[in-house]
Amino acid sequence: MATFITEECINCGACEPECPNTAIYAGGAQYEFKGQNTDALSNDFYYIVPQKCTECVGHFDEPQCMQVCP
């Protein structure tokens, strides 16, 4: 199950560089998955691509985005 960014997001961007799977993107940013560019899942807020998010399993004990989220 992937981590989800809620409507409480303040768009600070602290989570994006912490993701070891590059699953977090700024609102409006396209993402690449399996070699294909895909339209943004949100135009207004940071978002997590569910297919790329592993909740940091295999990297850390807890999701790193949640550790830095204000």
Structure tokens at 10: 């303040």
Confidence of residue 2 (pLDDT cuts 50, 70, 90): confident
pLDDT tens string 14-67: 999 999 999 999 999 999 999 999 999 999 999 999 999 999 999 899 999 999
Instruction: Specify the pLDDT at position 57.
Output: 93
The CATH number given to 1-70 is 3.30.70.20
Instruction: Specify the pLDDT at position 7.
Output: 85
pLDDT of 1 over the 80 cut: no
Asked whether 46 and 27 are in contact (CB, 8 A), the reply is yes
Rg, Å, the chain Cα set: 11
* pTM reported for the whole predicted model: 0.89
Structure tokens at 53: 């998010």
